[in-house]
Structure 1
Amino acid sequence: MQKKDLNPFRNYLILRIKKGVTNGKKLFHELQNQGFNGSYITLYRYLKEDLSDFWTKSSCKKTFPYKTQVKLNRAKYKTARIIDKTEPGKQAQVDWAHFGEVTINHKAEKLYCFVYILSFSRAIYIEFTTTQKLSVFETCHINAFKALGIPEEIVYDNTKTVIISNKKLPDGTRKINFNLGFLDFANFYGFEINPSPPYWPRNKGKVEAVIKYIRNNFMQGTKHQRNLTSLNELNHKATDWVNQIANARIHSNTHKRPLELWLTEKQFLHFPNGLPDYQVNPFLTRFSTKDQWIQYKQNFYSVPKEFSWKKLLLRETCQQGVKLVNIYFKNQLIAQHNLYTEKGQHIENPAHFKPKKTHPPRTNTTPEKAWKHYPQLKTRSLSYYDKLIS
């Protein structure tokens, strides 16, 4: 296929480039979805030669030094580059990435991305949130474990949700204080915590490379609505991108698709099948009122009519940073509300309250008074009654 076959896509490419999408691989996948059957090299030449006025970002085009310098640099590079090969099921790496801000429920929130990668297969799982709290961090782990599996150890940097302190002692050893909450989580799922040395990102270079890949591929040109209610739509797009592109591409180091290697690695991983989810937040016991309300943190949340005046369980959860109040009756979810921070509020779900019956206007069906049917007496003078007496 020749470059002229890309002319029908010219306007689309210019529009995407103006929106900030300069990654050739991402543009190539987008054109494939629109019916382009050519190769990536054809697209690259078209961008470089025919669309050079638009595709001029310096980061898109690698500039090399002179040939003599290239030979010297390549020689140094070959001696210095060491590819860390990990056994299947041995290790995973986890880190956070920051992607600016997003507006949720008319409130500006920071946007973070949880990144989980298996070191052998390079299979990844990502999830966007608005907070890095321990409860959200653990929930993202649970979702990643269900999707890809649990290795023997997971490498982390020195985030406070995992490691409180990591100090080097005079004898060269390190004294590490773990976050007891996350340590209990790791013991529950049976993996070891492998902390990275401070200021040494190469120790978790695989996850650092994935973050760069997400930033330059998936997030390029991705715009959000001005006001969102949740991050579900963004996470759905991220899941599709992971399944169709990230885990299906030919990896530059392994020269194989991560999904194919993961099928080989899968037998060395263990999954939380049949294991109940780790309780990130505890269940609390509450009694509902006869008016269908349940109290939590100085606010009142509605429940269905059939669950009034009953012993219920309440649990605060967080989905992608959006705090929710889940109400259960005998392990059955009966109500879900957004958590309110203002005090003294009544948070009502209209479906919990049946509308009042509207009665038709009353008609006067009362029978007429009996005295109205009595015979009327005539009015006579007193002289008439005197004659009767005499």
Structure 2
Amino acid sequence: MTKEHCMLKAKILQEEGKTQREIAEALGVTDRTVRNYLKRNDRTGKKRAYSSKLDPFKAFIDTILEEEPLFNREILLERLRKQGYTGGISILRDYAAAVTRRITKAAVVRFETEPGRQAQVDWKEFGKRVIDGKETKLYAFVMVLGYSRKPFVRFTTSMNQATLLACHVLAFLWFGGVPFEILYDNMRAAFAPDADGRWQPTKRLLALAAHYGFSPKRCRIRRPETKGKVERAIGYLGDNFWPRMEGRGLSLDELNAEVGAWIDAVSEKPIADLGESRSERFRREKSALKPVPAADFDVRDTIPLHVGLEGVVRYEGNRYTVPAEFIGEMASLLVHPLHREVELRLPGGKSRRFTLAPKGSHARIEFPGDGAEQLRRWRNDRDRVARRRRPRGRPAASDIAVTTGRAAAYDELSRALGEPEGIPA
């Protein structure tokens, strides 16, 4: 029997209630050897436990990092200071790094959301492409319903916030309903850090969510598997749909029509892991979605514009006339991110709608009635200025009264004033 076996056997006999002498007799060793075995066994695997100034605050730190693994450590230190923490930032950084590693490496169990519960959103970047006859950056907005895997795709030339919100509106109309929550990754157009470094939905995304009744959620950073459904849809879009478009000269409208037809086709194919098609599952999911409000959310950007002396506003290198009464005033141009139809709001509640000219074409767009009204105002202003500049007339000689007197009278006045007599030379 090896020494290790003897040690383990001695431990077992001790737990059975045997004395050291009885154990020694059973193992055929001395009492001293048994005593050494048992002492060594007691020390095995035991380490001295050191207390840390951070211990009372670890539960709070864990709660913060579970929600935001990369939460700013200096801000976290400030919060701990308010709770009475007196330690340094080094021990905090070490502990936070260990917690972050544990969180980011934790296994994610695949789960199925119930119908209508969740949708996932992300962008696919295609780089520079020739669209509508000119080279531009091309993107695809993708929203996928969690239960049915039914996708919505919209090709755009921008990923700004207004475009993101407009694509949401189109997706809800496409699905005919709104999910209870939508999951996003680290996109700045949807979430931004607050003063404490915690990521919060942007004001406009919250306004959109309030209008349609969904809850915006942000997936954990560096955890793409938490939104794997939209990631797989994006991969399928790039591998299956886009190769069919390569080398074709397309407009943005044609591209969106093509991808719509592609979605209809792939929705009829069975999903390997589920044994059902997207269309079959979507028929069950659609009834669980929230209804779409009658009025669309206004996603337009508001651009302030000054009405110049020429009676025009300038936008994208073009000029648009306005009524002459608004010269010198401020106006607001409401621009939709997905089309060229705009609304110009003028003081006093007046407005006009029109289509923007091509960007950078240096065109002057004159609306009916503006030219004649501006001409009348110009003539009135000219006449008013001319009247102000007209020189005043000189008085006629007959209107000037001259009084004459005796020279002696001036001498008397001079003596009264103490001045020399006579007319000054």
Give the SS at the match of 1:110.
strand
Q: Deviations over 1:140-197 (max 9, x none)?
A: 1110011112111011101111122399x9xxxx933332222222222211111111
TM-aligned CA distance change 1:122 to 1:331, over 3 Å: farther
TM-aligned CA distance change 1:100 to 1:298, over 3 Å: closer
Q: Deviations over 1:258-306 (max 9, x none)?
A: 12221211121123241233343248799899x9x75134855457xxx
For 1:250, the equivalent position in structure 2 comes to 270
| Structure 1 unaligned regions, length at least 5 | 1-79, 354-390
For 1:117, the equivalent position in structure 2 comes to 144
For 2:155, the equivalent position in structure 1 comes to 128
For 1:32, the equivalent position in structure 2 comes to none
Is the 2:319–2:363 contact (alpha carbons within 8 Å) kept by the matching residues of 1?
Answer: yes
State yes or no: 1:101 paired with 2:120. no
The separation in 2 between residues aligned to 1:268 and 1:287, in whole angstroms, is 50
For 2:55, the equivalent position in structure 1 comes to none
Alignment partner of 2:363 out of 346, 350, 354: 346
- AA aligned to 2:170 is N
Give the SS at the match of 1:92.
strand
State yes or no: 1:238 paired with 2:259. yes
Is the 2:209–2:215 contact (alpha carbons within 8 Å) kept by the matching residues of 1?
Answer: yes
Give the SS at the match of 2:271.
coil
State yes or no: 1:153 paired with 2:181. yes
For 1:212, the equivalent position in structure 2 comes to 235
Give the SS at the match of 1:268.
coil
TM-aligned CA distance change 1:209 to 1:182, over 3 Å: same
More helix by share: 2
Residue 130 of structure 1 and its aligned partner are, at CA, apart by: 1.5
Structure number with higher relative contact order (C-alpha < 8 Å, ≥ 6 residues apart): 1
- AA aligned to 1:154 is I
Alignment partner of 1:259 out of 279, 282, 287: 279
The separation in 2 between residues aligned to 1:179 and 1:255, in whole angstroms, is 39
For 1:191, the equivalent position in structure 2 comes to 214
TM-aligned CA distance change 1:347 to 1:271, over 3 Å: farther
Is the 1:113–1:128 contact (alpha carbons within 8 Å) kept by the matching residues of 2?
Answer: yes
The separation in 1 between residues aligned to 2:201 and 2:320, in whole angstroms, is 40
Q: Deviations over 1:77-102 (max 9, x none)?
A: xxx99542111110000011111211
For 2:192, the equivalent position in structure 1 comes to 164
TM-aligned CA distance change 1:224 to 1:86, over 3 Å: same
TM-aligned CA distance change 1:252 to 1:278, over 3 Å: farther
The separation in 2 between residues aligned to 1:315 and 1:166, in whole angstroms, is 28
Residue 340 of structure 1 and its aligned partner are, at CA, apart by: 3.1
- AA aligned to 1:231 is L
For 2:169, the equivalent position in structure 1 comes to 142
- AA aligned to 1:159 is M
Is the 2:305–2:313 contact (alpha carbons within 8 Å) kept by the matching residues of 1?
Answer: no
TM-aligned CA distance change 1:233 to 1:309, over 3 Å: farther
Q: CA RMSD in A?
A: 3.8
Q: Which has the larger radius of gyration?
A: 2
Residue 221 of structure 1 and its aligned partner are, at CA, apart by: 3.7
Alignment partner of 1:201 out of 213, 218, 224: 224
The separation in 2 between residues aligned to 1:222 and 1:313, in whole angstroms, is 39
The separation in 2 between residues aligned to 1:166 and 1:91, in whole angstroms, is 25
TM-aligned CA distance change 1:122 to 1:279, over 3 Å: same
Residue 331 of structure 1 and its aligned partner are, at CA, apart by: 10
For 1:372, the equivalent position in structure 2 comes to none
Is the 1:99–1:111 contact (alpha carbons within 8 Å) kept by the matching residues of 2?
Answer: yes
Relative to the length of structure 1, the TM-score reads 0.56
| Structure 2 unaligned regions, length at least 5 | 1-106, 370-425
How many residue pairs end up in the alignment?
Answer: 255
Is the 1:325–1:339 contact (alpha carbons within 8 Å) kept by the matching residues of 2?
Answer: no
Relative to the length of structure 2, the TM-score reads 0.52
Is the 1:112–1:131 contact (alpha carbons within 8 Å) kept by the matching residues of 2?
Answer: yes
The separation in 1 between residues aligned to 2:129 and 2:209, in whole angstroms, is 31
Is the 1:287–1:310 contact (alpha carbons within 8 Å) kept by the matching residues of 2?
Answer: no
The separation in 1 between residues aligned to 2:149 and 2:133, in whole angstroms, is 37
Residue 122 of structure 1 and its aligned partner are, at CA, apart by: 0.9
For 1:223, the equivalent position in structure 2 comes to 246
